[in-house]
Structure 1
Amino acid sequence: MRRAGRPRRAFSSRSTLLRLTPVSLALVSVLVHAQSVNGGTSSGASRTGSTTPEATLAPVFVTANPLGDADLIAPATALDGNALTLRAANSIGETLNGLPGVSTTTYGPMVGRPIIRGMDGDRIRMLQNGVAAWDASSLSYDHAVPQDPLTVERVEIVRGPAALLYGGNAIGGVVNTIDNRIPREPIQGVTGAVDASYGGANDARAGAAQVEGGNGQFAFHVDAFDRDTSNERIPGFAHSAAQRALDGADASEPYGSIPNSDGRWHGGAVGTSYTWADGYAGVSYNGFQSDYGSVAEDDVRLRMHQDHVAVASEVRNLSGPFSQLKFDFGYTDYEHREIDDGTVGTTFRNHGYEARLEARHQKIGPFEGAIGVQVSQNTFSALGDEALVPTTQTTNVALFGLEEWNVTPALKLSVGARYEHVKLDPTPNGNDKFASAQGRDFNAGSVSAGALYKLAPAWSVVGNVAYTERAPTFYELYANGPHDATGQYLIGNPDAQKEKAVSTDLSLRFERGPNKASAGVFYSRFSNYLTEYNTGRLVNDDDEVVPPGTDDALNEAVYRGVRAEFYGVEIDGKWRVFEKGAHRVDVSLTADYTHARDVDTGAPLPRIAPLRATLAGDYGYGPFGARAELVHAWAQHRVPEDDLPTDGYTTVALILTYKFHVGSTNWLAYVRGDNLTNQDVRYASSVVRDIAPEGGRSVMVGLRTTF
């Protein structure tokens, strides 16, 4: 989206007052004057470190296993409570970045989609309360996930083969954000929370408020959020040294901040439910709006709007063949417009629904399990002068099941399977580029098996293996147009076949009291990995060859299937090294490494995070807490031929917390300092790493209250 003749940027491959919407202000008023009946709320247990002790409950992973077992065979991580509050960033991707096996795409501070074990896009299923909320984030790296971390109660990440129950598009993993917009448990009286923070490298002014209430049967939920940011401050030049050499001596180079990296988003939700001893049923609505800049184009803004309606119900302790039924439904209407110098260039729309029904059956001999059906349909369109894909309706119908067998007290086995039918129907809408696009049908089957064996009360070994098939997406089949986010002209492969992979992981786990550790390896081999390959030609917006140096020239790229493999290591552990009276000290270590390559040529796959390690120390004394964190990422020199390598970096962060009570309200105050040594940080997983680094030294202050 550009004015004709304007040079395209080349790249290789919170004021101190909290700004809230009127709804937010109303909620804050209610919170200030409302009286709590039950005196507060409690949060679930987190699998990651928090700087202050908090009341915890045994975690139940709803994403990794519909049976709700505490001993998970799946490699899974959960983030909630204070740990989630203290990690919250401007995007879901950045919030989760650094967890075991998880990195982020990033396209400026407002945009970031999670990457799991080197896989991104439509190989990672982004869910809200177990079902899809349609957007355009998998199509392009500059499209944000329309969700603010402040509205999330809990995040669950499932890595590798165990994500099979969510389809071929979860071949790399699942990220499920969970909220309480449809209350799932009885609420007696009124409870609520307010979050407010200011600071960071882009002076983010962020706030959220929620109120929940009920009479023990009928319950309601209302929330609102607002986030407003300035341009992101950086330690030096926006362009890397290697990129500045390519730009030439006469190029104007941004310094000290990233132009057009500011943004704002806001929204809210209402929900209600009826609860009883053995279940609940409810409905909710949430809306999201944003306006943020593209860091690759100074005059381009993206204005996004999403409406989402959800229906959910669960019935437990049934008689008959099934003991529990769970139903989730979501309908989404999404639109965003890319605006170039005040003129709308391309409008992206995506609307549709997804429904999922899970039924847990009564125990059959030694077997416990669940079966289910999932149905979805969405229509995606890109309208305008630079339409990249045709309007395409995608329909998916799937059956799935999971069975577990506790063979002995020490050994548990599981097996899962999923079969889905995917149909894609493109419509040219008068665009000659897509006149030849034909509909495609795919039948995709997947199967997985896992085992958990307890070597000793504190030690266990866990393994998973799966065969997974993924149907190509609409853009892998039908793309035919300029893609400024990556500086390419993309051409789909209308004859593309299913992506097939065999994946396995093996890990050793330890857990005794506050001490937990896991060390694992994983391996995935694809027989038809669909990815973009540059043809070596430079073309214009009409896919006509142009000579080097031409303004707005694009690298022509085509989708094709190759044999590929991913393998790596994940380490995660926390150890209580000192405890005396109210004093405690914990030390934690997280590290991961992913190696990904084209099997036939040995060439590295793009945007793979390097070896990373995080060493942290947590100190707690009564209501006081402190966390010091050292992150080191090694240089990434294994990049495709046309990409530039990234340097290593080391960052230091510090968090100070204080918990206190005022009447019946519970408070958490915190100060967070990030990148305190002001390092130039460029993620190898970011497509704009050479023109938009991560933020420099920053300090954020925040306050959270619950009652």
Structure 2
Amino acid sequence: MNKNPPRTSARALRLSPLSLALVAALAHAQSDNVRPAGNATQAPGGSLAPVFVTANPLGDTDLIAPATALYGDALTRRQTNSLGETLNGLPGVSTTTYGPMVGRPIIRGMDGDRIRILQNGVAAWDASSLSYDHAVPQEPLTIERVEIVRGPAALLYGGNAIGGVVNTIDNRIPREPINGLTGGVDASYGGANDARAGAAQVEGGNGQFAFHVDAFDRETSKERIPGFAHSERQRALDGPDTSEAYGSLPNSDGRWHGGALGGAYTWADGYAGLSYNGYEANYGSVAEDDVRLRMHQDHAAFASEVRNLRGPFSQLKFDVGYTDYEHKEIDNGETSTTFRNHGYEARIEARHRKMGPLEGALGVQLSQNTFSALGDEALVPTTQTTNVALFGLEEWNVTDALKLSAGARYEHVKQQPAATGNGKFASARERDFNAASASLGALYKLTPLWSVAGNAAYTERAPALYELYANGPHDATGQYLIGNPDAQKEKALSSDLSLRFASGPNKGSVGVFYSRFKNYLTEFNTGRLVDDADQLVAPGTDGALNEAVYRGVRAEFYGVELDGKWRVLQKGAHRVDVELGGDYTHARNMDNDQPLPRIAPLRATLAVDYGYGPFGARAQLEHAWGQHRVPENDLPTASYTKLGVLLTYAFRVGATNWLAYLRGDNLTNQDIRYASSVVRDIAPEGGRSVMAGLRTRF
């Protein structure tokens, strides 16, 4: 096993938490005129105000789409090692897991190529949708705001947003003028697995030119777990003579680090700027004791917005990102497979002037990326994917109480596999798809406090490259995957309906959703056990894989989502809020009435939030029922109840704001195995842990 961290690249900034603090202190010593970083519309603490930019290019605050935004203290108290775990538990959102460093968001039971993960509105290419052991190369500590759009309203971002969109937003390209210097530092330590994390940022400007610098570093030892790594059911299958890990999860340690540089020119009616960020990681595969994954990503971006234009369009917005991504799977010190993904995505949105009762925006999106998996265990051929799309959204405020919306998108997708000398991909051929999507939405205010919102959409998704061309071992899932080169477009009719309430600090929403798919592309086990060359082997053979093929079926998803917050006490400086959340997703293959795999069970969360001046306390109880609706060859998961507590204290030292916090997770030391995790029976979530942290803004 190779436990040496990767050598520092000159392209990625690397600082320890102590160095991060020194950077911030030096910047503070030079600063005479400080202000919160980022957008001019600020929430308390310098966080972006709740204007959604992902679901609607018109910048509405009252969205028809079911959407959630995390920023400020709400984001701080949820931040963990991965993007998926940070968002896990929000309405309709669960996570894949492959150890403590790996987690990709799942929305309403859909994952992989059906969920678009964006960075400031455009793709940052990686390999996380291809395999569950591939991390999302984004550090939660550097994110200012996360927007999650669930369901059909996400169609403006393409067919591969058929389940939803997760857009992370930062201020690496400053969008508003900055005068003087400002910045911040976050540092934390968790004793359970010796987890150390830190991030620092500095921003400055003269009112026209602005710059941004940030750096982050995160490292963790092996994760401590409440008992055996393998579940009771899995141990029964392992046999009595198998050596079983206990108390810690083998090969679950890891480290990542990186940073960013950015700058912009700002003026009264817009901005234009560039940024670069680098990211490196080295972490273990919890399914294979001798396998490490080394990852590197470079991402460069240009963004600009011009407002108050003359002519038919009043506002133009440009976003372009280029990514160069690589990761290597190191088996016993030798590189077995190298994954590369590089390409660009460009998006232009133009908001037009009001035409009669209609307000809206039109846009063009272009992208091209080349993905390759090279080595003895290559799963797919080198493939170039090109996407050209037109989209638009229109809104009509019919009355003060009724708002209607209509959106459409048309895209052309081309998949071009290349001859790489690997004979098993010799028959892969070029495929072209034309995909169309359309949606309708309505928001009706029943009273000043109550409203109802509904959406309906028809969406088409072109098959992903691995659904077409896969032909190789996939050790992350224990399968030998075979694509369907004749696969057709995935088509879905989706709808959702929600009842909402908002009155000062009190707010709530309860909603239902339904999606019906034609040609839903999923994996089917053939019943054959094969080796890495797809040759039949006997049961019990070491390294035997389940052969699986991609096939289109009819499928349906439906469920309910609940989210609410109530101020139950406001007396002087004392306040108490009670929060309640929950969700349930039911998903089945309509051709054989079998459950679809990796669907989170019914979940409910109760939290009590107390504040008194600078002091804060929060207790959260989450219960997940057992998931017994699993495919024939899967094992069910047991229920669990997880308790978490967060204590905070805010204070000032001179002109600097500080927040000290102490967070306890899974305090009842439950054996937690997410039904959405492909390694749930060999790698549980972490046991009882306590983390102390300090955050400063100046």
CA contact (8 A) 2:106 2:115 kept: yes
Q: 2:125 aligned with 1:134, yes or no?
A: yes
Contact 2:566 2:578 in 1 (8 A): yes
Cα distance in 2 between the residues matched to 1:528 and 1:682:
30
**Equivalent position SS for 1:236:** strand
Q: Where do 1:662-701 residues align within 5 Å?
A: 662-701=653-692
Partner of 1:80: 71
Q: Are the structure 2 counterparts of residues 43 and 80 from structure 1 closer, same or farther at C-alpha, using a change threshold of 3 Å?
A: farther
The amino acid across from 2:342 in the alignment is H
Equivalent residue for 1:652?
643
Contiguous gaps of at least 5 residues in structure 1: 3-17, 48-52
Match of 1:218 among 209, 220, 224: 209
Residue 427 of structure 1 aligns to which amino acid in structure 2? A
**1-side partners of 2:579 and 2:18: how far apart?**
42
Distance 1:312 1:22, change over 3 A: farther
Write the letter of the residue equivalent to 2:433: F
Q: Select which of 293, 296, 303 maps to 1:312.
A: 303
- Aligned to 1:268, the other structure's residue is in SS state strand
* CA distance in structure 1 between the aligned counterparts of 2:248 and 2:18, rounded to whole angstroms: 31
CA distance in 1, matches of 2:443, 2:148: 19
Q: Secondary structure at the match of 1:438?
A: coil
**Partner-residue secondary structure (3-state), 1:394:** strand
Residues 377-436 of structure 1, C-alpha deviation per residue, up to 9 Å, x if partnerless? Answer: 000000000000000000000000000000000000000000000000001310000001
Structure 2 CA distance for aligned equivalents of residues 627 and 656 of structure 1:
7
1:523 aligns with 2:514: yes
Name the structure 2 match of 1:544: 535
Structure with the bigger RCO (C-alpha within 8 Å, sep 6+) is 1
In structure 2, distance between residues paired with 1:494 and 1:574: 49
2:480 corresponds in structure 1 to 489
1:508-532 per-residue CA deviation (whole Å, 9 max, x = no partner) reads: 0000010000000000000110011
In the TM superposition, what is the alpha-carbon distance from 1:56 to its structure 2 partner? 7.7
Asked if 1:33 is matched to 2:29, the reply is yes
Mapping 1:40-119, distance limit 5 Å? 40=36, 58-119=49-110
Q: Who is 1:532 aligned against?
A: 523
**Aligned residue pairs, count:** 687
Q: For the structure 1 residues 42 and 183, does the alpha-carbon distance in structure 2 shift closer, same or farther, using more than 3 Å as the test?
A: closer
Cα distance 1:697–1:408, how it changes in 2: closer, same or farther (>3 A)?
same
State how far apart, in whole Å, the 1-side matches of 2:686 and 2:157 are: 35
The corresponding residue for 1:166 is 157
Contact 1:201/1:699 (8 A) holds in 2: yes
Aligned residue runs from structure 1 range 549-568, under 5 A: 549-568=540-559
Partner of 1:20: 16
Cα distance, 1:69 vs structure 2: 1.1
Match of 2:5 in 1: none
Q: 1:382 to 1:21 in 2, by over 3 A?
A: farther
- Matched residues in 2 for 1:137 and 1:91: separation? 12
Q: What is the aligned partner in structure 2 of residue 470 from structure 1? A: 461
Post-superposition shift, 1:485? 0.0
Q: Aligned partners of 1:426, 1:267: CA distance in 2, in Å?
A: 32
Q: Matches of 1:304 and 1:446 in 2, distance apart?
A: 35
Q: How far off is 1:319 after superposition?
A: 1.0
Q: Which amino acid aligns with 1:30?
A: L
Partner AA of 2:617 in structure 1: A
| Aligned partners of 1:79 and 1:156 also within 8 Å | yes
1:296 to 287, 290, 296: 287
Task: State the Cα distance separating 1:34 from its structure 2 match.
Answer: 3.1
Query: What's the CA shift string for 1:339-365, capped at 9, x where partnerless?
Result: 001000000000000000000000000
Alpha-carbon offset, residue 30 of structure 1: 2.3
Cα-to-partner distance string for 1:613-651 (whole Å, 9 max, x where unaligned):
000000000110000000000000000000000000001
Which segments of structure 1 move beyond 4 Å, counting only runs of 4 or more? 39-47, 53-58
Please give the secondary structure, in 2, of the residue aligned with 1:93: helix
Matched residue type, 2:439: S
Secondary structure of the residue aligned to 1:408 is coil
Q: CA 1:61/1:487 → structure 2, altered by over 3 Å: closer, same or farther?
A: same
| CA distance in structure 2 between the aligned counterparts of 1:251 and 1:546, rounded to whole angstroms | 22
CA distance 1:55–1:705, shift in 2 (3 Å):
closer
Post-superposition offset of 1:57:
7.2
Contact 2:529/2:546 (<8 A) preserved: yes
How far does residue 208 in structure 1 lie from its aligned partner after superposition? 0.3
- What pairs up with 1:427-446 in 2 under 5 angstroms? 427-446=418-437
Q: Equivalent residue for 1:619?
A: 610
Task: Give the 3 Å change call, closer, same or farther, for CA 650–19 of structure 1 in structure 2.
Answer: farther
**Alpha carbons 2:36, 2:46 under 8 Å: kept:** no
**Matches of 1:529 and 1:501, distance apart in 2:** 8
Q: Quick one: distance in 1 between partners of 2:249 and 2:495?
A: 41
The CA deviation string for residues 134-192 of structure 1, in whole angstroms up to 9 with x for no partner, is: 00000000000011101101000000010010000000000000000000000000000
Please give the per-residue CA displacement for 1:653-678, whole angstroms capped at 9, x wherever unaligned: 00000111111111111000000010
1:25, distance to aligned residue in structure 2 (A)? 6.2
Q: State the match for 1:396 in structure 2.
A: 387
SS at match of 1:245: helix
SS in structure 2 of the partner of residue 585 of structure 1: strand
Which residue of structure 2 lines up, in the alignment, with residue 501 of structure 1? Answer: 492
**Equivalences for 1:141-152 in 2 at 5 Å?**
141-152=132-143
Work out the CA distance in 1 between the residues paired with 2:100 and 2:47: 32
2:378 alignment partner in structure 1: 387
Instruction: State the one-letter code of the partner of 1:33.
Output: A
Question: How far apart, CA to CA, are the structure 1 residues paired with 2:354 and 2:38?
Answer: 33
Matching of residues 599-638 of structure 1 within 5 Å: 599-638=590-629
Helix, strand or coil for the counterpart of 1:87?
Answer: coil
For residue 70 of structure 1, report the CA deviation from its aligned partner: 1.4
1:41 to partner: Cα distance: 5.4
Q: Which residue of 1 aligns with 2:180?
A: 189
Amino acid at match of 2:306: V
CA RMSD after TM alignment: 1.7
Deviation string for 1:453-483 (max 9, x for gaps)?
A: 0000000000000000000010000000000
Equivalence for 1:10: none
What is the deviation of 1:71? 1.1
Q: Is 1:588 aligned to residue 573 of structure 2?
A: no
Could you tell me how far apart the structure 2 residues matched to 1:29 and 1:371 are?
A: 45
Report the equivalent of 2:315.
Answer: 324
Partner of 2:8: none
Q: After superposition, where does 1:335-414 map in structure 2 within 5 Å?
A: 335-414=326-405
Deviation at 1:247, TM superposition (A): 0.3
Structure 2 counterpart of 1:409, which letter? Answer: D
Once residues 337 and 152 of structure 1 are traced to their aligned partners in structure 2, the CA distance between those partners, rounded to angstroms, is 26
CA distance in 1: counterparts of 2:25 and 2:526, whole angstroms? 59
TM-score (norm 2): 0.96
| Change beyond 3 A, Cα 1:185–1:447 | same
Distance across 2 between alignment mates of 1:240 and 1:57: 42
> What SS does the corresponding residue of 2:398 show, helix, strand or coil?
strand
Alpha-carbon distance in structure 2 between the residues aligned to 1:413 and 1:193:
42
Equivalent position amino acid for 2:212 in 1: H
Percentage of pairs with the same residue:
79
Q: Which amino acid aligns with 1:434?
A: F
Instruction: Find the counterpart in structure 1 of residue 169 from structure 2.
Output: 178
